[in-house]
Structure 1
């Protein structure tokens, strides 16, 4: 049984990961920016035998990240896996059109917040002295370009380098560092962006429908891969190149079931 902390886990892929780990019998501490969002998520996750706790945490504040670690240590004594999932994606603007406050939010949360999480987790795990740290990457982390994702993709590209650097610095310490590429998942953020820009969504919907997946499907796969991972620096992918090619080819022959309809889109 593993003890797991997941930042940004009151919704989206983070919430899905929490549910997947709990369903497998593990213990989880979830977190989000507000106390109300954490309490709501806990209510949705709890079952009679659920071993889940939660605490509000703004990952851009190192003191709050440290408080999250301390809380988890008190609750579970040891932390086996720390997942830096909290992030912000704004994909509706070009680089020059992106509002400054949105740039600041993505850079501070996606990059600085993940660095804060890694530093706190690695320092704490040195006292254990072992553990696994996983950083959730995303579009752009491999250097690929997507329209509207110039700023977001840059933060994820930087995280790819940072994760590699941290893995090398911690090599031999008993602390494993891994990277997660969840692929294209239909989260609340994706749904909100689709509703805000229906014309753009309509134009990309047929193509996207071949590649997107539901949170629960992806989270279950990723959770097991993280539990099984025993090599530092590893990148765990859900949507591999082979899977993309197979889906595009099959889409020519048979139309895939609409993945967005169940979300009211």
Structure 2
């Protein structure tokens, strides 16, 4: 049984990971920036296993430290810390992105992950073990996509940051790894698609071949997270081989529309 903390875990892939860990008899502390979202998530997970919740805005270092302290109080130690909290606004070009949205993405995605990594690494060094996973995403490998200039830049920066953290902690008992979950249909994806529906429709056919649901991806990610024993490891759901196979299959038979069930 592992003790696990997941930031940004009141919805989307974070909530999916919490559900799968809890179902596997692991103890989980979820976190979000508002108590209402924590309460909703705990209600959703009430029959899954041992799950606790705490408000923690990852942009605030002291709140992230308080999250670690709460986990220590509840569990005694933290085996796995997942920096999942993230924000995507993808309906504007770089020039047109409102400044408050730029600031929100940078502080949530970059500063939030840095805060979480610092707190978790310090605590794990003190306790003598632990694994830190940073959630990457579109743009982390350097690819550019329309509307993702700011978001992709934060994820590219997190790839560099995670590589640096791996090297700094290489001679310690702390494992640092990356997660690239692929293209998952989450509340954020649905929101962005509805906000710019015409452009979504233009790319819908291509995206339909690549997207997956939280329910499909989360169990596999949990297995990989638990099995990770080497620092620097990258867990990647949507790899080149999988993309190629799906695109080839789509020429023979169209994949069932993955977006219809979400009102798109």
Check whether TM > 0.5.
yes
Unaligned runs of 5+ in 1: none
Where does residue 237 of structure 2 map in the other structure? 238
Aligned residues: 264
Question: Do structure 1's residue 53 and structure 2's residue 59 form an aligned pair?
Answer: no
Query: Which has the larger displacement, 196-205 or 118-127?
Result: 196-205
Q: By how many angstroms is 1:233 displaced? A: 0.6
Where does residue 82 of structure 2 map in the other structure? 83
Distance in 2 (CA, whole Å) between partners of 1:247 and 1:125 is: 40
Q: Deviations over 1:40-65 (max 9, x none)?
A: 10010011x72100001100000000
- Map 1:173-192 onto structure 2 (within 5 A): 173-192=172-191
Distance in 1 (CA, whole Å) between partners of 2:157 and 2:110 is: 7
Where does residue 41 of structure 1 map in the other structure? 41
Distance in 2 (CA, whole Å) between partners of 1:132 and 1:147 is: 34
Q: Secondary structure at the match of 1:155?
A: helix
Where does residue 119 of structure 2 map in the other structure? 120
Q: By how many angstroms is 1:208 displaced? A: 0.5
Q: Is the 8 A contact 2:2 2:80 kept in 1?
A: yes
Q: By how many angstroms is 1:167 displaced? A: 0.7
Runs of 4 or more consecutive aligned structure 1 residues displaced over 3 Å after TM superposition = none
Where does residue 167 of structure 2 map in the other structure? 168
- Map 1:1-265 onto structure 2 (within 5 A): 1-47=1-47, 50-265=49-264
Q: Secondary structure at the match of 2:256?
A: coil
Q: Is the 8 A contact 1:2 1:80 kept in 2?
A: yes
Q: By how many angstroms is 1:5 displaced? A: 0.2
Unaligned runs of 5+ in 2: none
Q: Secondary structure at the match of 2:152?
A: helix
CA-based RMSD: 0.8
Q: Is the 8 A contact 1:20 1:216 kept in 2?
A: no
Q: Secondary structure at the match of 1:127?
A: helix
Q: Deviations over 1:217-240 (max 9, x none)?
A: 111111110100001011110000
Q: By how many angstroms is 1:106 displaced? A: 0.6
Distance in 2 (CA, whole Å) between partners of 1:86 and 1:257 is: 30
Q: Is the 8 A contact 2:91 2:195 kept in 1?
A: no
Q: Deviations over 1:3-36 (max 9, x none)?
A: 0000000000100100111111111000000011
Compute the TM-score of the two structures, normalised by the length of structure 2.
0.99
Distance in 1 (CA, whole Å) between partners of 2:228 and 2:120 is: 18
Compute the TM-score of the two structures, normalised by the length of structure 1.
0.98
Distance in 2 (CA, whole Å) between partners of 1:244 and 1:193 is: 23
